[in-house]
Amino acid sequence: MPQPLDYLRETASQTAGPYVHIGLAPGAAGFEIFHNRIGGDIAGPEAQGERIRVAGCVFDGTGAPLKDVLIEVWQANAAGIYPHPEDPRANEVEKGFRGWGRVISDFETGEFTFETVKPGAIPGPKETMQAPHLNLWIVARGINIGLQTRAYFEDETEANAADPVLSLIEQAQRRDTLLARKTAGGYRFDIHLQGDKETVFFDV
């Protein structure tokens, strides 16, 4: 036997279940408990850039909307900077910009909406630039391990064409599943877990 590799192994994921709101969005479960809610304001009041509203639905393989889904958003600010010490420009981020939020679908309709600012372009591998995008993490009953995807913006045509992540997707028509569509009120980003319109998910 060779020497053992003494790494620990990552804890296994389990579904968030139907009552995920109790822990992560208790107001929606039907009670108030914490003095500070977290995750309600992604950009904060002082954020620069274009204010946008993103709406959508998560659909299952039968085309039915998920009414118990929770999505977390992680994004850069309008200048393409993440508020995290490993972003070399982190100290330029506006005060109060967390870049992160939690969104739940409506229990009756399955529709979710959130407000934020449109992120800027972000450095990618080597000399590339990543097109503006929102990083999304999706959990729900029936989802055993959180699904990672990205929402890009359909009106960033040139940046999207040069994006190193979109170009990893072999079938060009599948890239379209990651484009948030411009609407009168902002953007629409529907997520299809399964089937003909299946959204691209990433193993990050």
**Range 39-58, binding other proteins (CB under 8 A):** none
Is residue 103 within 8 Å of 111, Cβ to Cβ? no
Of 45-53, 79-87, 108-116, 182-190, which segment contacts other proteins by CB under 8 A? 79-87
Q: In the bound complex, what is the minimum distance in angstroms from residue 45's beta carbon to other proteins? A: 16
Q: CB 185 → other proteins: shortest distance, Å?
A: 26
* HEC-encoded secondary structure of 55-114: EEEEECCCCCECCCCEEEEECCCCCCCCCCCCCCCHHHCCCCCCCEEEEECCCCCCEEEE
CB 178 within 8 A of CB 154: no
The rounded distance, in Å, linking the Cα atoms of 57 and 66 is 7
Measured from the CB atom, the residue of 142 and 185 that comes closer to other proteins is 142
When the beta carbons of 82 and 114 are compared against other proteins, the nearer one is: 82
> 113: burial class by Cβ within 10 Å (0-12, 13-18, 19+)?
middle
Single residue of 56, 99, 120, 186 touching other proteins by CB under 8 A: 99
Range 118-147, binding other proteins (CB under 8 A): 122-127, 130, 133, 135, 137, 139-147
Binders of other proteins among residues 7 to 46 (CB under 8 A) are 7-24, 26, 29-31, 33-36, 38
Decide: is 169 part of the binding site for other proteins (CB under 8 A): yes
